[in-house]
Structure 1
Amino acid sequence: MALPQLLPNRPLINPNYKLSFSKINLTSPALPFPRHSHSHHIHTHVRHRYPSFTLNCSSNENSSNTNKQNQNQNDVVELPLFPLPLVLFPGAILPLQIFEYRYRIMMHTLLQTDLRFGVIYTDASTGTADVGCVGEVVKHERLVDDRFFIICKGQERFRVTKIVRTKPYLVAEVVWLEDRPSGIGEDDLEGLANEVENHMKDVIRLSNRLNGKPEKETGDLRRNLFPTPFSFFVGSTFEGAPREQQALLELEDTMVRLKREKETLRNTLNYLSAASAVKDVFPSSST
């Protein structure tokens, strides 16, 4: 179900915005990858080339300068980068199929080192972002033709400060990003996270109703997560809106991130409520 423009004041959001609460759907029509019928694997193909590797390191100069001042020189590390048209969040699971030659080389290197690389968002119109998320390989399978199936898990966020080399694959110097204190009490932050969780439950309930699925009690979506990792989980469910996801990933304040997610979910609820009312009046119409 394609939803209309939900955030008119934020031009980055995809007009085909939708929410997924089960897992990241890497075969979404919003991503330039073909669909597959394999039920036991989700394969993300990376055959296409990226013609430009100019990162937007100067797009937020003040923020970048602040981060550089707050980081010690010892915190600067080199990290191989994997540009993809999707956003990886800390804690999220990302399955990939690797068969482009340069990334097969990268995988051979990773398997002999620390199994960590940087996933960074890129698209044709905005280029490559300068903030990404480390993906750690937690499972891999090497095939006879030297392709790899891998499953990686999102770890810490980083900001690119310098491109070290571009061949055979991107390697950059990065500094780590962490959320700053929000300046509000812990109880207030917990309350905001609970509001976001309730909005998510309402979205699931209305979505199921519109899709003709049985309405059942939604379980614990927070799963005892603290507000910051929960805010990353919420962002990972905003399927089909990678630019909005990238904006959420770059925020360095948990409260601001949760407020933005709450607004998005509230707009989604408004749409679903209107669609549900139309369906009640015209039961035979398609929503």
Structure 2
Amino acid sequence: MYFNFCGSNSNKKKFFLINIPLFPLKLVLLPYEKLPLHIFEPRYKKMISNSLDHGDPFGIVLRNQNEIHSIGCSVEITKVFKKYPNGEYDLMVQGKDLFNILKTDRKMDTIFGEIDYIESPMPIKDKELIKLQESYLKVLIRFGKEINIERHLDFNISYQFIKKIQLPLRLKKKILEIPSENERVAFIQNIFNNILSDSSENNNTINNFIPEA
């Protein structure tokens, strides 16, 4: 679901609500996923400065022309690679928690969203977890990724298994919108099955993905 930058989504039930600045990008960021960014616009330089200095939260949300998606992801700044004299930043952020956007408003040039956080998923059950782990490791091996098996076997949330895999936007958007962890696990398992069954050399779905904002 999309709505205009300054609109409301009255169908969402309100629980604990907060207002945070939103960073619309032409991508989907999911929990656990890391994203390198170059920040150069004045409004976003201020947003990053406030987050670094005061711990103010902000969220990344999918942008489609003059609309934004109704679900976004809060982020944590995990590393600042460089701060330029003009206030620009090179940094790394990581997705934390998904949220529903209930209403948006503009303050100066920045879009703020009234949000409520979506409950974090519970760990995957043993049988489904083992199956997903096996497929995930096979995908990494297929694409020649170095594997620390012990670290990867600690994964037990669906989002962890796709945080290093570049997927088409339409698939990431679908994953973003799936409300059930069981359904999400089944969907990701199907993605892995399709990757492993495709014998073509052009099935290059694992790459570095560095957008500039």
Q: Given the alignment, which residue of 174, 181, 187 partners 1:247? A: 174
> Of the two structures, which has the highest relative contact order with CA contacts closer than 8 Å and spacing of 6 or more?
2
Equivalent runs, 1:143-162 vs 2, <5 Å: 143-162=84-103
Equivalent runs, 1:154-193 vs 2, <5 Å: 154-165=95-106, 167-179=108-120, 189-193=125-129
Q: Where does the alignment leave 5 or more consecutive residues of structure 1 unmatched?
A: 1-51, 277-287
Equivalent runs, 1:21-32 vs 2, <5 Å: none
Give me the TM-score of the superposition, normalised by structure 1.
0.60
Aligned to 1:136: 76
- Name the structure with the higher strand share: 2
Deviations 1:148-198 (A, max 9, x none): 1222222111110001225321111000001577xxxx8x82211221121
Equivalent runs, 1:33-52 vs 2, <5 Å: none
Contact 1:80/1:169 (<8 A) preserved = yes
Q: How far off its partner does 1:202 sit?
A: 2.2
Count of residue pairs brought into register by the alignment:
197
Aligned to 1:205: 141
Counterpart CA distance in 1 for 2:22 and 2:130 is 35
Q: How far off its partner does 1:138 sit?
A: 2.6
Aligned to 1:222: 152
Aligned to 1:108: 49
For the structure 1 residues 115 and 129, does the alpha-carbon distance in structure 2 shift closer, same or farther, using more than 3 Å as the test? Answer: same
3-state SS in 1 of match to 2:110: coil
Aligned to 1:89: 30
Give me the TM-score of the superposition, normalised by structure 2.
0.78
Deviations 1:112-157 (A, max 9, x none): 3224210111234x94211111111233242112111222222111
For the structure 1 residues 146 and 217, does the alpha-carbon distance in structure 2 shift closer, same or farther, using more than 3 Å as the test? Answer: closer
Q: How far off its partner does 1:80 sit?
A: 0.5
3-state SS in 1 of match to 2:179: coil
Aligned to 1:194: 130
Deviations 1:199-219 (A, max 9, x none): 1222233344xxxx9xx8772
Contact 2:79/2:93 (<8 A) preserved = yes
Counterpart CA distance in 2 for 1:78 and 1:218 is 39
- Which is further off, 195-204 or 234-243? 234-243
Contact 1:91/1:233 (<8 A) preserved = yes
3-state SS in 2 of match to 1:192: helix
Q: Which amino acid aligns with 2:197?
A: N
Counterpart CA distance in 1 for 2:91 and 2:133 is 31
Counterpart CA distance in 2 for 1:102 and 1:218 is 40
3-state SS in 1 of match to 2:86: coil
Q: Given the alignment, which residue of 80, 85, 88 partners 2:21? A: 80
Counterpart CA distance in 1 for 2:112 and 2:86 is 25
> Rg bigger for which structure?
1
Q: How far off its partner does 1:251 sit?
A: 2.0
CA-atom RMSD, angstroms?
2.9
Is 1:98 aligned to 2:39, yes or no?
yes
Contact 2:33/2:164 (<8 A) preserved = no
Counterpart CA distance in 1 for 2:121 and 2:143 is 34
Q: Which amino acid aligns with 1:133?
A: C
Contact 2:20/2:59 (<8 A) preserved = yes
Deviations 1:220-244 (A, max 9, x none): 4634233x2xx11223344141221
